[in-house]
Amino acid sequence: MSKVDAAKVETALNLFGSRNCAQAVLAAHAGDYGLETEKALQVAVAFGGGMGRIQDVCGAVSGALMVLGLSSGFREEDGRDKINLVYDRTRELINDFTKLKGTIKCSEILGCDLKTEEGQKFFKENNLRERCCEYIQLACELLEKHSFGSV
């Protein structure tokens, strides 16, 4: 894995103190691509908890994929070849994440139902926020490997 930008990881983890995992990853990288932090937070708000707490794709992964798309600099005139390249890197990032953590599904990562009071209590009592921090850090690290670079 290439050298990770420690400042990006730190920013993402600090944001995770008051924002969701997708927001943290996207907002930590947004400025590199001309996206205002506040807009990044708005874009990613629905992706926390595996998309609105349905616990599907991990929010940190979703945030990383948004950054990947920004890093591609894709323009409609780039055409199908560029889209295919972005899709290739998307699959590579997801595959690497899955190899390292076993899944990209929030429900499998956390083992509780965030839509219920019991699940949220389990999350807090078992300090699963720390697990989320590990996944946020990994998402940032994988961006160093898979993104197209900054503008």
Q: What is the mean pLDDT of each run of 10 residues along the chain (151 residues)?
A: 77 97 98 97 98 97 98 92 96 98 97 96 97 98 91 52
pTM of this prediction?
0.94
At CB < 8 A and 24+ separation, what contacts does 1-4 make? 1/141, 1/142, 1/144, 1/145, 2/144, 2/145, 3/144, 4/137, 4/140, 4/141, 4/144
pLDDT computed for residue 150 by the predictor: 67
Residues in Cβ contact with 56 at an 8 Å cutoff, skipping those fewer than 6 apart: 50, 105, 106, 107
Tell whether 35 is covered by a domain.
yes
Q: Tell me, yes or no, whether 151 lies in a domain.
A: no
> Alpha helix (H) ranges present in 16-146?
21-30, 37-44, 48-51, 59-72, 79-101, 106-110, 117-125, 128-146
Query: Is residue 1 domain-resident?
Result: no
Kindly state whether residue 74 falls inside one of the protein's structural domains.
yes
**Within a domain: residue 150?**
no
- Please state the domain count of the chain: 1
- For residue 83, being part of any structural domain is answered with yes
Q: Three-state SS for 85?
A: helix
111, 115, 120, 121 alpha-carbon torsion, rounded to 10°: -100
Question: 7-46 burial, b if ≥16 CB within 10 A, otherwise e?
Answer: ebbebbbebbeebbbbbbbbbbbbebbebeeeebbebbee
For position 46, what pLDDT does the model report?
98
Taking residue 61's Cβ as centre, other Cβ atoms within 10 Å add up to 30
Judge whether 92 lies within some domain. Answer: yes
Name the residue range of residue 115's domain. Answer: 6-144
For residue 71, tell me if it sits in a domain: yes
Look at residue 3 in the predicted model and tell me its pLDDT.
Answer: 57
Q: What is the pLDDT of residue 79?
A: 87
